Amino acid sequence: MYSALMSTQERLIESTRELLWERGYVGTSPKAILERAGAGQGSMYHHFKGKSDLALTAIRRTCTELLATTDALLTGPGTPYERIEAYLRRERDVLRGCPVGRLTMDPEIVASAELRAPVDETLDALRERLAQVVEEGKESGLFPPRLDGEEIAATVLATVQGGYVLARAAGSPAAFDTGVRGLLSLLRADADRPA
């Protein structure tokens, strides 16, 4: 499953990331982590203080990767509308859900300020980056001045996270895609409407 060149520590982190996404914190037992990582019994405690420390490392990495992917799309080429569209339409495993958003539904993570912190920071950073793109669109005249960048950013994020939930409930990515198309048509209409 993992490259022979990958260290035991890396295999533990990657295994934990996958298991958190699939099963949540409670369902991610040390035994499951070790089995998936192909690591020996004492490996986790050699590299980490325990499950919580390993989970925090895994959550931070997941958050960092999500922000890097988002930044590449939102700072890439194109108009502000096109960059928001690229973010909304990027390749996703919709039925699996968002690896960060799903953590917000895990009561153990939500109850732990330490485990929740990188999730909160990531969602805040996503809203901030999206708001900056909307404000850029307003400054360039693409979006009307009456749009509030923070409100639009929250709407974009809510559409993505809500789209995951609806798609998983329906067992089809169609609900996610419908939400994205609807939001883009509203943004496009605002971009086409005179200020």
* pLDDT for position 43: 87
Q: Does residue 185 surpass a pLDDT of 70?
A: yes
Each residue's pLDDT tens digit, 122-170: 999 999 999 999 999 999 999 999 999 999 999 999 999 999 999 999 9
d(Cα 64, Cα 57) in Å, to the nearest integer?
11
Give the list of residues 6+ apart from residue 89 with CB closer than 8 angstroms, or none.
Answer: 180
List the alpha helices (DSSP H) in 24-112. Answer: 30-37, 43-47, 51-74, 80-89, 107-111
* pLDDT for position 64: 97
Each residue's pLDDT tens digit, 65-106: 999 999 999 999 999 999 999 999 999 999 999 999 999 999
Burial 133-147 (b: 16+ CB within 10 A, else e): bbbbbbeeebbeeeb
C-alpha separations of 169 from 94, 162, 172 in Å: 11, 11, 8
Backbone torsion region of residue 116, taken as left when φ is above 0, otherwise alpha when ψ lies between -120 and 50, otherwise beta = alpha
Banded model confidence at residue 1, pLDDT cuts 50, 70, 90: low
d(Cα 86, Cα 159) in Å, to the nearest integer?
14
Banded model confidence at residue 2, pLDDT cuts 50, 70, 90: low
d(Cα 33, Cα 170) in Å, to the nearest integer?
30
| 154 vs 4: which has the higher pLDDT | 154
- CB 192, CB 144: distance < 8 Å: no
| 103 vs 5: which has the higher pLDDT | 103
* pLDDT for position 158: 97
Domains by residue range for the chain, with CATH: 56-192 (1.10.357.10)
